[in-house]
Amino acid sequence: MTKIACVIVTFNRKALLAEALESVLTQREPPEYVFVIDNASTDGTEAAVRQQFDFDGQRLTYVRCDQNLGGSAGFATGIRLALRTDCD
């Protein structure tokens, strides 16, 4: 079976991030790992999603960047992390 890692990049979209996480995690075959890369949100994104989802487990990883370098830098960060896993 193929192992999948998912990267989600966000910036000030806590409601949409929660919706995306819920969707990804409830798929029939959810990914082995989900990396959330927060591009320095200022709207309480981190607190909101940490309250709703378990980021202490092995499956979910939350990374808050010091500044918003844009989506490309966020995805590059997430892909670097995903490549360190045993996913395909």
Residue 57 has a pLDDT of 72
Higher pLDDT, 60 or 1: 60
**Does pLDDT of 56 surpass 90?**
no
Q: Which two tokens stand for residue 18?
A: 């929660």
Domain residue extents for the chain: 5-83
75 SS3 class:
helix
DSSP code of 81?
A: H
For the entire predicted model, the pTM comes to 0.92
Residue 38's pLDDT band (boundaries 50, 70, 90)? very high
The span from the CA of 59 to the CA of 4, in Å, is 11
The pLDDT of 63-83, averaged and rounded, is: 96
